[in-house]
A and B are shown apart, each in its own frame.
Chain A
Amino acid sequence: MNKKENFQWIGKSWTQVGGLAKAKGETVYADDIFLPRMLYAKMLGSPHAHALIKSIDVSPALERPGVIAAITGKDLPVPYGILPVSQDETALCVDKVRMVGDPVAAVAAIDEETAEAALEDIVVEYEPLPSILSIEEGLAEEKVQIHQYAAQGNIHKKVALEFGDTESGFSQADHLREELFYYEGSTHLPLEQHSAVAQLGSNNRLTLWSSTQTPHYVHRTLSKVLEMPASRIRVIATPVGGGFGGKTDPFQHEIVVCKLAMLSGRPVKLTLTREEVFYTHRGRHPVLMWVRAGIKSDGSITALHFRNFLDGGAYGSYGVASTFYTGALQTVTYPIANYKFEAMRVFTNKAPCGPKRGHGTPQPRFALEVLLDKFSEDLGVNPAELRLRHLVPSNSKTVNHLTVTTNGLDECIRKVTLASKFGMKRKNMLPEKGIGLACSSYLSGAGLPIYWNKMPHSGVQIKIDRGGGVTVFCGSVDIGQGSDSILAGIVAEELGIHLQHVIIVTADTDLTPVDLGSYSSRVTLMTGNAAIEAVKPLREQILSAASEVLKIEVEDLTIKNDKISLKDGSRELTTFVEAVQWAETKYGTLGSVGSYTPPRHGGDYKGSGVGPSPNYSYSACVAEVSCDSESGWYSVDKIWIAHDIGQAINEKLVIGQVEGSVYMGLGEAMMEEQVYRPGKSDIGGLHKNPSMLDYKSPTSLDMPEIETILVETNDPEGPYGAKEAGQGPLLPIMPAIANAIYNAVGVRVDEVPITPEKIYKGLQNIKSAKKAKNGEIGRIGPTKFPDVVFPEPVYVEPPQ
């Protein structure tokens, strides 16, 4: 509708909706909710990594003064899980525990101290089972199964796909490389712990307030597990103090507070401790990767073959989707003529992995971008030049049938290398300084919902009050990324009014139409498109009523700055409020709806559901590091990152998302490890560092300077041309740092995190071997890969 330069809000930087309230402490998070007669709940976690529950006796807890209710797995036996194919969780363990911290019982008491003390009263008898704590153990152990529904032994899922003919692709290559990479697991570390409050009203309706990214999926799960019609359950997502994918599953504590509220007849709150958040997890899968790649001497990729093992942890969660994601998006940056992807996800007795910012794609992206750095050295070509030569063109299909509408990577690479003086610095770098480049791509929303249906992914409802207030209802959740601001900005833009007249009501299943939730970077694109569809008819009604009253052709009218005015800008005719009243007079109550369903963009082979998206964002990153060539200590001095955002809706929020991604990427690159103590019995399976002091993640004081460059490609699928910003910019950080470290001291670290210890070891290896060729002598990374037979791949013909 608008020409870009005429935008009132789009592309500008305005204060985040709700931002000031957060800064001033007004925002009511889930844990801030206090209801009359409210009880406090606590869950008792398993001390064993793997054990049968022989008996549980909660009656001693119930005898403690102040304890009102206590439940076990028998009270909530219905299994659930976010994916229809992985219904393998229960709110409290029924007959076995699968990880340390797995909750087996819960109590509600008059205060938190009493609840906590009552946990000690509960008597549980366990029969320990052998624990499975690594990918290798999971592959080897056939008899002791963590889940009986696994594809085989403890292999949760096997995937094998081949696009084109990889063998013939490899035979056409001038250079071949076979590499092993390992990507350690990490957790989301949101500042706000998960928290939920439930209340059963005397109208027999259940309300759950929860810090969740996906109220709709929680709603469905509660209905299933509590065996209540969804119409009697209301789920309200409270403002989320950080999610990053860690609040996208339905969780035990959410179900437990509901059950305890129903049993006690009183509101019940449960806030997880920080330690419990580490056990709840659903974070980055540790992935062991074997990659074979062939390129021609011009750098074009003739064939690529990935074999991935994912350490899934104790439950399915999003794991099947994660498994596919470790193979789906390698193809959308550089054309790959033939592509084969095989993967297995293994159950282990550790906290379940799931979706963390980038969901399944940072691990293979790390491998691919480090691999390209090695190839650029093989060919003697600048790594930027190598990438620029071969980019997936706009309006094309990838080998695995993904539709790329626009690809801004060319501009991203050019701008980021220019800003960082990449070419010059690579030639003339000071000793112990290094510079590295990496690129990436991510989807703007999954093309398919979690459960199979053909309904819209996002719905928006708008009503306009005759006082001029415009209320927007949408199921989406603002998790700090600014989705409320996107809704407000788009509606204000379309109606030509100030943001202060737009009221946002979100994430309440009683009040708002379904939006699938804040995950997979889908919200700006999907709710944005739904909002545009909803607001357009209202704009038309207002203008048409104004035209009738003012006796001016509707084509000559517009709304801008809260006024109805002539389109040529020569005259303001009336106020927005008056025009709204004319419209209500003419049409009755002003309201409208809009919805969005993504286009069918993927292929139609089995497994094609993961990867398609309306559009893809692109990022290019340059990292500059200083590394001590004696000790291996290093610092990241500066990050330059260019991101193809399509079109920024709110520029400052986009930059915020990019910078947040850089922070999270730095943590994964440099230090973060969700790791467990090894050992079969006594200490095996205990999380090593479940606290914010001991789980190392950068603080604000550790952040380097970041220079963010936004590239706009004006994508046809996004609202005003927009793409995602929340996840993609994380992806190139880790490989850019790995490549920079190699550039600085000649040590290839083919795994994350890249710690000083590892670099030191690489430096020692180089010293003892005298010379390093292609970094192989100074290489640190996995050296063994399990010898496991993958199933025959599903063969898919590449698109014409």
Chain B
Amino acid sequence: MLYFRNLFMWNLHSEKLTLTDISMLRLPPFEYYSPESIPEAVALKARFGNDAMYAAGGTDLYPNMKRRQYTPQYLIGLHELKELNSIDFDNGMTIGSGIPLNEVANHPEIQKLYPALANAASLVSAPQLRNVGTIGGNLCLDTRCTYYNQTYPWRKALGFCLKKDGDICWVARSSPVCLAVSSSDCAPVAVALNAEYRLAGRNGQKIIAAENFYLNDGIDYLNKTHDELLVSIYIPSHEGWLMSYNKMRRRDSIDFPVLSVATALSLDKAGVCTSARIVLGAVASCPQRALEAEKILTGEKLSAEIIETSAQTAAKLAKPMDNTDMTLGFRKKMVSGFVKDAINDALE
């Protein structure tokens, strides 16, 4: 097992350790482990507990470490875990959590079978980061907030918040819970496609539905124990389904979503919707399933009127707070039109 103890680690993927002394926000000191099997990784995590974090692509982890959102003493690198890097299309799709986002976006089979997922992966951040960032990382992405994703001196000047080092939520000072926003692009799609996650923990492996994996709490936003590692994602076959993922953000080149919608629709030969799933992203601390809006579509031919009613019903779910880019009023106003567009995009 590879093991480093160095403050200047920069390129974790290269064979040799590259030391760079370019001035920047510094990473806090940590020890880096590179286990070669899942049990070994999980055992390390169990041993170190909350002092350790798993590191996959690191595109969100390392910037956050530099800003001291996390100061793990130990990082458990996942690059050597070959089990995380396979894709298999037997009876649906099972995809390893370590697959880079660009591979998900550009995989011809995924584009054909789960176009919404390929699209969501293609819309995460910027091209360079998609080469490194993984699907598992995106599905477990930390919740975001304009009061939280700031440097240590900035947060100190404000007074630390509920999510890190403090006891107040700056978004809504009376809020007992953290209101940081679920900002994953792939998570709403995973929920819409009835995905199941395989987790490995110190007590063995288990399977949890994507829908149950996310919690509406900005701090405890994942329904898993600290040692559990997302190994793979299973998505059942959606042959014949229509699906879409639409993302709203200021810059299409790089930004996190300020609103997103994933849909999955099944129509019979007569054009009647037999099953519908609509999931909103970036409107709460976890993806929000629009159950009422889904019911309106189910059993109906999808006329413009039905779609409009469904979209307006879905919009009631969205209670955005003033903690992302763009104003909350606008983000709320955009939801129904956005859901409508997403349903229509799926039908196209």
Contacting pair A45 B250 (CB below 8 A): no
Q: From B21, B146, B159, give the contact of A688 (CB < 8 A).
A: B146
Within B146-171, the residues touching A (CB, 8 Å) are: 146, 149-151, 153-154, 156-159, 170
Interface membership of B326, Cβ < 8 A: yes
Contacts of A193 in B (CB 8 A): 23
A665-702 CB contact bits vs B (8 Å, 1 = yes)? 00000010000000000110011111101101011111
Binds B, one of A14-22, A181-189, A269-277, A641-649: A269-277
Contacting pair B251 A699 (CB below 8 A): yes
CB distance from B132 to the nearest CB of A (A): 16
Query: Which residues of chain B have a CB within 8 Å of any CB of chain A?
Result: 7, 21-26, 29, 126, 146, 149-151, 153-154, 156-159, 170, 250-255, 325-327, 329-330, 333-334, 337
Contacts of A273 in B (CB 8 A): 24-25, 151
Contacting pair A47 B253 (CB below 8 A): no
Contacts of A47 in B (CB 8 A): 153, 156-157
Contacting pair A686 B158 (CB below 8 A): yes
Q: From A31, A101, A699, A757, give the contact of B330 (CB < 8 A).
A: A757
CB distance from B61 to the nearest CB of A (A): 15
Given contacts A45-B153, A699-B126, A699-B251, whether A31 and B25 have CB atoms under 8 Å apart is no
- Residues of A in contact, count (CB < 8 Å): 43
Q: From B29, B146, B153, B159, give the contact of A689 (CB < 8 A).
A: B146
A18-58 CB contact bits vs B (8 Å, 1 = yes)? 00000000000001101000001000011110000000000
> Could you list 21 examples of A-B contacts with CB < 8 Å?
A40-B23, A45-B153, A46-B157, A47-B153, A48-B157, A100-B157, A112-B23, A113-B7, A269-B23, A271-B24, A273-B25, A274-B25, A630-B337, A683-B158, A696-B251, A698-B251, A698-B253, A699-B251, A701-B126, A701-B252, A757-B330
Contacts of B126 in A (CB 8 A): 699, 701
- Distance between Cα atoms of A411 and B329 in the complex (Å): 45
Q: From A34, A693, A694, A757, give the contact of B21 (CB < 8 A).
A: A34
Contacts of A148 in B (CB 8 A): none
Contacts of A394 in B (CB 8 A): none
CB distance from B269 to the nearest CB of A (A): 33
CB distance from A386 to the nearest CB of B (A): 34
Within A506-531, the residues touching B (CB, 8 Å) are: none
Given contacts A760-B330, A760-B333, whether A683 and B170 have CB atoms under 8 Å apart is yes
Nearest neighbor of B326 in chain A, beta-carbon distance: A757
- In the complex, besides A101-B153, A693-B254, A702-B253, 4 extra interface pairs with C-beta distance below 8 angstroms are A112-B23, A698-B251, A755-B326, A756-B330
Contacting pair A686 B154 (CB below 8 A): yes
Contacts of B330 in A (CB 8 A): 756-757, 760
- Distance between Cα atoms of A725 and B157 in the complex (Å): 41
Contacts of A275 in B (CB 8 A): 151, 153-154
- Distance between Cα atoms of A47 and B157 in the complex (Å): 4
Contacting pair A696 B325 (CB below 8 A): yes
Q: From B23, B146, B158, give the contact of A271 (CB < 8 A).
A: B23
- Distance between Cα atoms of A426 and B252 in the complex (Å): 28
Contacts of B149 in A (CB 8 A): 691, 694
Contacting pair A701 B26 (CB below 8 A): no
Interface membership of A95, Cβ < 8 A: no
Contacts of B29 in A (CB 8 A): 113
Interface membership of A631, Cβ < 8 A: yes
Contacting pair B253 A701 (CB below 8 A): yes
Interface membership of A195, Cβ < 8 A: yes
Q: Of residues A45, A101, A630, A631, which shows the largest number of chain B Cβ atoms within 10 Å of its Cβ?
A: A631
Interface membership of A116, Cβ < 8 A: yes
Contacts of A694 in B (CB 8 A): 146, 149, 325
Contacts of A112 in B (CB 8 A): 23, 26
